[in-house]
Structure formats: structure tokens, C-alpha cells
Chain A
Amino acid sequence: MTTSRRTTAAAALAGATAFALLATGCASTDNAASSEDGEITLTIATFNDFGYTDELLAQYEDENPGVTIVHNKAATSNDARDNFFTKLGAGSGLADIEAVEIDWFAEMMQYSDKLTDLSSDDVADRWVDWKTDAATDADGRLVAYGTDIGPEAVCYRSDLFAAAGLPTDRAEVAELLEGDWDRYFEVGQEYVDASGAAWFDSAGATYQGMINQVEFAYEQEDGSVIATENDEVKAIYEQVLEASATQSAHLGQWSDDWFAGLANGAFATMLCPGWMLGVISGNAPDVTGWDVADVFPGGGGNWGGSYLTVPAQGKNTEAAAKLAAWLTAPEQQLSAFEAAGTFPSQVEAYESDALLSATNPYFNEAPVGEILINRSQAIDVAPFKSVKYFPINDAMQKALTRVDSDKTHTIESSWEQFVADVNALG
């Protein structure tokens, strides 16, 4: 008996010490967040490159004395997603402002009650309609402020086009590719026949451009899953894979091989949302042939784009909302565009001279501002993405990879695996 009493006492002591340490740890961060004289620290968590430079944040600090901003950047949107959901579930640990990508936005909207309502008259008509609609929950609360969108154009290698006898001027290329996806693959076949090289980078990336033009691809409005019975999905799946057999470079998007292919001319065209321009110029800095044409097969399309949210678990939600509103105002988004190429989702920004006159020296001085404004106006479908969209699309990307880059499955057997994967999500 005495044994256990003594060890229990020791255990209690050790435990108490541990908790005391934890408690002091917590207490010190609390102090940092809001001290007596109204000084506050706001944390903002983003990923990749939002274009929020230190100068931009310092400007806000100068205009709002007493506010200090700490900016944390995650490497990829996947890291940010894991971190976001883990801490949202735990109920603590998130930054005052959290950036959220459109791909997992619908998943997040399930828990919109854990986010602060940001709606106010000041921002009522700030964004393009579909951007605002997606961020409004069933109760009419606006829980996220749009940052950028990803209107898609087509990037091409003018040097490879010239070698294959195709036009190189971006207006002529736009004319050449004008039309639907059949037209895009038709020109692709001409290019492949002439050059013997690949037309596009990967089946997965091209599919992404095509599926973003389908309003109800995987789910119906009531949330029921239709992915495996949807003829439209299967038709796109088959069309892109049949073209891939001869026209794809078989490089899985974002793989090491894919990045190498960007630089070594493994393929002649790729689909280019605004933010992709930075990816290309950043990873193939020595290539001179990349150019961008004001055209997109099958009309317009949006790929990616992000939001800023203010989690309700934060201590300074009001001040955080004010900062988020400032960051997503057209003026600040324009300076982010200059810094990182993130195309604004704010209507007013489209009138700005800074955007209209923006050119990109890497892409042969292409007027990227004007091209992307035209491309964003061509977007006529906002795909419906509910909670299962992300995992289903993930299963689809794997199905495409099995046929396109792995070559372990046929079109038909890979589709069967896709159906099984989707059913296993249940």
C-alpha cells in the first residue's frame, strides 16, 4: 500500500510539473496575443506565394498603430489543408487569418459555423459573383474573402511550334486553337505527326481543364454522388485518354519528371491558369520559347484560386477580419498580382490600368493582364463542388495516371478501379 501511495505522489508531482510547464507555455502566447495597452499581434497563414510581401504587411502596420502581423507560409496547399483541418478539429492553434484553396473549400464549408461571419456592406460587391456565392453558407453567412482566381489560357512553346510548321504569333495561335476540345486534339495530332514529339504534358492536367467546364460532374445539388454514372465524365475521361496515347508526354503533373519536362521541351502546350505562369517561369528560367495565347478550348475555365478565412477560435477575430478585408481589397490584390501573378477576383481591379497594361517579359512580353481579363470573362460555368469533390477527383486523377504515365491499366480496367475507389469512399 505504501508503495503505491508514494509512487502516486511522485506521479502526481511529475504530472503537475508537466502541466505547469504546459500552462506557462500557453500563458506566454496569450500575453503575446493581446497585452493590456491594446497592442495586438495578428497571425496570417498562407501557402505557396500569395504575393503578400513584407512591404505590403508593413504598410498595414504603419496605418494601424498597435498591430503587429506575423506571416507564416506553408510550402504547398496540401500541407496547409492537413494543418487547417487538424487544428480546426482540435479547436485551437489556427492562425487569426487562414488561407484556404478552392479545391478543399467545399470540405471546409461543412464546418462554416467554426468560422467568423465576415459579411458587411463594404465588401458586398467586391468579387465576381460566383466567387462570393461559393463562400456563402446555407445560412447566408459570408465566411471567406476571395483573393485570386485562376482563369485559364493556353501556354505554348513558340520555338517548337515553328519547328513543326505551326504559326508562332500569339494571335494566330489563338485563332488556330479556337473551338472545342476536339479542335485542340486535332491540332495536337497535326503537331505530333509533324514533329514526333508530345503535344501536351499529361492526361491529368488536361482533364482538369475539361472537367472544370462541367457544372455537375461528380455530385448533384443534393449532394448525392453521380460520378460513376455520369456519361459526361466518362466521355471526357475516354476522350483525353484516347488523345493521350499519341499526344501526351506521359508526365504526372508536379512530378520531378514533369518539372524537368517544362524545361527540356518535352511537350509543346499546356493549360495555363494565371498562377501557372509563375510556375513555368520559375522552373524553366532558361527557356526562351514559352508564350501564352488568349484562347481556351471549349470556352473559358477556372482552375484554382484561394480565399482568406477568419476562424472563430481566434482571440482577435474583429481585428483579423479588418486585416483580411484590407488584404483582399482591389488595391492590395493588384500589388499581390505584381509580386506573384495571382490574378484578382475583385471586379474593380479589372478596370485598373496597372492590370490592363501588365506584361510578362518571360512570355515574350505577352500582355498577361489583358489576356487573363479576357479569359476570366469567358468563364461561364462555376462547377458545383460539394464535400466529396476533392476525394473523387483525386481517385479520377489516379485512374488517369494508371493509363497515361504508369501504363499499367487499359482505359476500361482503370475506369473499373475508379468506380471501386469511389464506392469505397462511402
Chain B
Amino acid sequence: MTTTAPRPTRTVLSPPPAARPARSPRRIAFSHTLSRWDFKLSPYLYISPFFILFAIVGLFPLVYTAWVSVHEWNLIGGQGDFVGFENFAFVLAQPQFWIALRNTFSIFLISAVPQVIAALLIAAVLDRNLRGKTFWRMGVLLPYVVAPVAVALIFSNMFGDQYGLINNMLGRLGLDPIGWHSEILPSHLAIATMVNFRWTGYTALILLAAMQAIPRDYYEAAMIDGAGIVRQFFSITIPQLRPTLIFVIVTSTIGGLQIFDEPRMYDQFGQGGASGQWMTITIYLYNLGWGQLNFGRAAAVAWLLFLIIVIVGLINLAITRSIASNDSPEKVLARAQRRAARKELAR
């Protein structure tokens, strides 16, 4: 309680307490906060073009499609009455929607699974010391340069039912011709072939880039420990590729579920076959929106497809995480060390 004496002088000498803290910090703070803003906000500013563009070309269409899907909407007549979830109910009640869903998943599985496996193997081979490295690496990317429509035109010709190259060759071998355009599974195989032709090299190059970033010490250590090539591949390469594998699998899922060019160019009508043998969801969407000019229903299909992709993407992510994290190289090395230690003890 000794502070009683100086208090009155302070109150007399100093300006009103309300004004003082406000004035002097302001002078310091302007340049100060400016630099603090610069530090904190500039990064956001630099990446903002992406988000602004995304809002215009990504988010807005997404929201607008949702708006269209709850209305009656004609391609030309435009907006009609609000119908709630009627468009969704209609689409879900159509056997065609479920056929399209079946085809989409079937083509996706037939194309994506062998594609990632083949790309992994190709990348592993390219990762070794080959003669003419660049030649081989560019070679696998070559099909990617060809436009998908051109690929589809060539392949659909090769897969012709009566005069196609492939059925001709089967005939030479004494086999029965296959109904590439009339049966369900053969048509899926043919379309998956086009997809794989175009995308395997691209996927392989991405995986190759990731493989080259794996520290060579791991392999040396494993080699000294006596691990063969196969063991190295499964215990070092694959776990180290985890983030890249997740990326490749997620993008190929999105691409696979949205597949459009190849099935559309597969026959002359582009509607997925007379009984919808290879009608994918995007083709169904196109038939509704541009064939029947019914945008409301097409928008409902678009949203359903979006939800399906999100769900499948999450499932994929979960599976890839659990597969890849079991065998991290640290654990492998630790295990190798333990084994070595045991051998040492036994001696």
C-alpha cells in the first residue's frame, strides 16, 4: 500500500488514459502491422488466383448444378417449376441408371487395376540402369500424346464385329468371333483397352519420378542384408511410393468414373449400345441432357456421380493407406537389424 503517494502526480501529469495507448502504438503499428500482414497474407495472395479461378469454374458450376437438379429444366426452355428431389427419384428408379452404374464400375475396374499394376512394373524396369533411358521413357509416354478420340476411332475399327482386325485374327486361329459391340463384357474389355493404351505410360512416368526420389541407401542397406530384387520392390519401393500411389489411384478413380470419350466414340451413335452394353454414367447424363434436352434430370445424374466419386475416392484412400503403411522401410530396416543381431548372438 505504498503506492498511494505517487498516484495523484501520475494522474495529473499523464494525459487521459484512454487517448494515450491509442496514439503512440498507432504510429509504431502502421508499418509494423503492414509487415505483419505482408508476412501473414502474402502467401495466400500468391495462391489466390487458383482459388478464385476454382470458385468461378469449379465451385460455382457445382452449386449451380445442384440448383438445376431440383427444378424442371429444359435445355432451351430453361428453368421450370421447383420439383424438389423428383429428378433424383426418377433417375434412381430407372433401370438404365443402374445399368450405367454397373458398366462404369466394370470398365473402371477392368481399366484401373491392371493399369496401375502394369505402370508399377514398367516404372520399376525403367528405374534400373537401361541403355537409352530417355528413349524408353519417352516411348511409354507416346500413346498419351494421341488424342482420345483418335484412339477410340482406331480401336473401335479394330474391334469391329464382322470385319474388325481382331476378329479376323481370331478367325485365322480357328476361334469364334467375339461380339465386341453386342456383348457386355467384351465391350467393356475393348473400352478398357483404349483407356489403358493411353494412360499406362503416363501413370508409369509419374511412378518412375517418385521411384527416383527414393534414397539409394535403403537399397544398398537391403542388398547388404541379402534382400533380393523382389523383396526390395515390395519392402522398400512400394511403401516409399505411398503418397504417389495415393495420388495415382485417386486421379485414376476420378478419371475412370467420368470416362466419356472412349465409350462415346465406340460406335456410330455414341449412346452406349442398343441395350446399353457400354453406356456409362456420363453417357447416360449426355443422353438425358442433350438427347432428351432434360437438364434437370441430367443435373441430378451429375450430382449422383459426384457423390459416388467422393465415396469411392474415400474408400480408395483408406485402402491405400492401410496397405502401404504396414511396411515402412524404417520397420524393415529395424527388422533386418534385429535379425542381424540375433545372428550375432547365436554365433
A residues with a Cβ closer than 8 A to B are: 2-3, 6-7, 10-11, 14-15, 18, 78, 82, 85-86, 88-89, 107, 110-111, 114, 250-258, 260-261, 264, 266, 391, 394, 397-399, 401-402, 405-409, 417, 420, 424-425
Contact = CB atoms under 8 A, between A and B. Distances in A.
B163 A261 contact: yes
Contacts of B164: 256-257
A86 B75 contact: yes
B291 A7 contact: no
Contacts of A417: 275
A126 B281 CA distance: 47
Interface residues of B, number: 41
Contacts of A256: 156-157, 160, 163-164, 268
A82 B290 contact: yes
5 contacts: A7-B44, A256-B268, A257-B160, A258-B268, A408-B183
Contact of A399 (B163, B270, B274): B274
A398 B275 contact: yes
B292 interface: yes
Contacts of B52: 10-11, 14-15
A424 B163 contact: no
Contact of A89 (B48, B75, B160): B75
Contacts of B162: 250-251, 257, 260-261, 266
B76 interface: yes
A253 B269 CA distance: 10
Contact of B161 (A86, A257, A391, A408): A257
B92 to A, nearest CB: 13
Interface in B139-196: 156-157, 160-164, 179, 181-183
B323 interface: no
Interface in B256-278: 267-271, 273-275, 277
A6 B45 contact: yes
B51 to A, nearest CB: 9
A399 B275 CA distance: 8
Given A252-B267, A406-B275, A89 B163 contact: no
B78 interface: yes
A407 B78 CA distance: 40
The 6 closest A-B pairs by CB, nearest first: A406-B182, A401-B274, A89-B76, A254-B268, A398-B274, A260-B163
A313 B275 CA distance: 39
Contacts of B273: 406
Contacts of B292: 391, 425
A408 B48 contact: no
Contacts of B269: 254
B274 A406 contact: yes
B56 A18 contact: yes
Nearest to A6: B41
B64 interface: no
Contact of A11 (B48, B267, B274, B277): B48
A166 to B, nearest CB: 24
Nearest to B270: A78
A424 B164 CA distance: 34
A18 B182 CA distance: 48
Contacts of B290: 82, 85-86
Nearest to A425: B292
Given A394-B291, A406-B182, A10 B163 contact: no
A88 B267 contact: no
A424 B96 contact: yes
A92 to B, nearest CB: 13
A268 B193 CA distance: 35
B123 to A, nearest CB: 35
B121 interface: no
A408 B275 contact: yes
B337 to A, nearest CB: 50
Contact of B275 (A6, A257, A266, A409): A409
Q: Which of A3, A250, A255, A405 has the most CB of B within 10 A?
A: A255
B135 interface: no
B176 to A, nearest CB: 13
Interface in B323-341: none
Given A85-B76, A406-B182, A264 B163 contact: yes
Contacts of B270: 78
B274 A402 contact: yes
B11 interface: no
Interface string B9-39: 0000000000000000000000000000100
Contacts of A401: 274
Contact of A14 (B48, B179, B293): B48
A374 B271 CA distance: 37
Nearest to B42: A6
Contacts of B291: 391, 394
Contact of A10 (B48, B179, B293): B48
Interface string B274-312: 110100000000000011110000000000000000000
Nearest to B275: A402
Contacts of A251: 162
B163 A2 contact: no
Contacts of B271: 394, 398
B129 interface: no
B36 to A, nearest CB: 10
Nearest to A82: B290
A311 to B, nearest CB: 12
Contact of A85 (B37, B156, B293): B293
A391 to B, nearest CB: 6
A65 B160 CA distance: 52
Contacts of B48: 7, 10-11, 14
A335 to B, nearest CB: 31
Interface in B54-82: 56, 74-78
B78 A89 contact: yes
B254 to A, nearest CB: 25
B322 interface: no
Q: Which of B44, B179, B269 has the most CB of A within 10 A?
A: B269
A247 B275 CA distance: 23
B49 interface: yes
B167 to A, nearest CB: 10
B94 interface: yes
Given A261-B163, A394-B271, 7 more contacts: A85-B290, A89-B74, A256-B163, A257-B163, A261-B162, A394-B291, A406-B274
Q: Which of A10, A257, A398, A409 has the most CB of B within 10 A?
A: A257
Contacts of A253: 268
Contacts of A11: 48, 52
Contacts of A6: 37, 41, 45
A14 B164 CA distance: 53
A356 to B, nearest CB: 36
B201 to A, nearest CB: 26
